[in-house]
Structure 1
Amino acid sequence: METILLAQVMGGFYGLLAIIFGAFGAHALKKKLTPEQLHSFETGVKYQMYHAILLIVLSYNLGFDGPLDKYIVNCFVTGTLLFSFSIYGLCLSSSKGKKLKFLGPITPIGGLLLVMGWALLLYSFIATIL
């Protein structure tokens, strides 16, 4: 899949799911999650939406003429998936008393990929100046 198309499709998909999950959390999960779990769930939704918007913006602004653009998009797509969705899994499983502990280490890996995506994006901006 072309990088620009990947950024647009995943940005749209993540945005759609962020709205659905946000409404689900605000209504259906409000009585089932503790305040801490609900806060964590909302953090996953926020980060998912931030990166959905970022992917859409990047798809219209990056040159997509080099491998760096592909790395940036892949870091954001994969990082969002690992970060936000592992948070959802941790919150939902712990609310049922069966916390999926294997998801715990996945969240920081996703966060690291998001940081790498932002660092590569910053590098690409600086490289165009120099």
Structure 2
Amino acid sequence: MQDRRWWLGTALSGALVVVAGAFAAHALEGQLTPRLAAAFETGVRYQAWHTLALLAVLAWRGSVCLPGQRLAMGLWAAGIALFSGSLYAMALSGATRLGMITPLGGVLLIGGWLALAAALLRAPSRA
């Protein structure tokens, strides 16, 4: 199976989205300041959207494999780790200085979308 590791990582990211969302809704309810709770929820939301984007590109790669798709996926995976991961860590630890990492993750997420756009622009029109 092509991209087996990507499929596995994406499936695990999807599972983590559900776990993190349930954890925020039940175990963390009332335990965090509103600002930290919102940060945690933002991490969940961005991870969910980018996990769906990974699924879409993986499915697309099954029929049309373009240079640049893996770069986009790699940037998204790193962006999820840094963006959502820093928000989760900040909310759970209260160490707001971890929020300095979040923008770097955001830049990686944006870079993934730009890499995908570049891949599409370089692709033959039938792709």
Same fold (TM over 0.5): yes
Between the two proteins, the alignment pairs up a number of residues equal to 123
**Which residue number in structure 1 is paired with residue 9 of structure 2?**
10
**Which residue number in structure 2 is paired with residue 113 of structure 1?**
108
State the Cα deviation string for residues 12-69 of structure 1 (Å, max 9, x = none).
1111001000000011111101112111111100111111111111111033353x22
Report the CA distance between 1:4 and its aligned residue. 2.3
Quickly say closer, same or farther: Cα 1:6–1:72, change in 2 above 3 A. farther
In 1, Cα distance between equivalents of 2:34 and 2:9: 30
Quickly say closer, same or farther: Cα 1:6–1:114, change in 2 above 3 A. farther
**Which residue number in structure 2 is paired with residue 27 of structure 1?**
26
Report the CA distance between 1:10 and its aligned residue. 1.8
Superposition map of 1:98-109 within 5 A: 99=95, 101=97, 103-109=98-104
Helix, strand or coil at the partner of 1:32:
coil
2:48 is the alignment partner of 1:53:
no
2:71 is the alignment partner of 1:76:
no
Counterpart amino acid of residue 6 in structure 2: A
Counterpart amino acid of residue 45 in structure 1: V
Gap runs ≥5 in structure 1:
none
TM-score by length of 2: 0.87
Counterpart amino acid of residue 65 in structure 2: F
Query: Contact 1:82–1:109 at 8 Å: present in 2 too?
Result: yes
Helix, strand or coil at the partner of 1:104:
helix
2:118 is the alignment partner of 1:123:
yes
- Give the RMSD, CA atoms, in angstroms: 1.9
2:38 is the alignment partner of 1:39:
yes
Identity %: 33
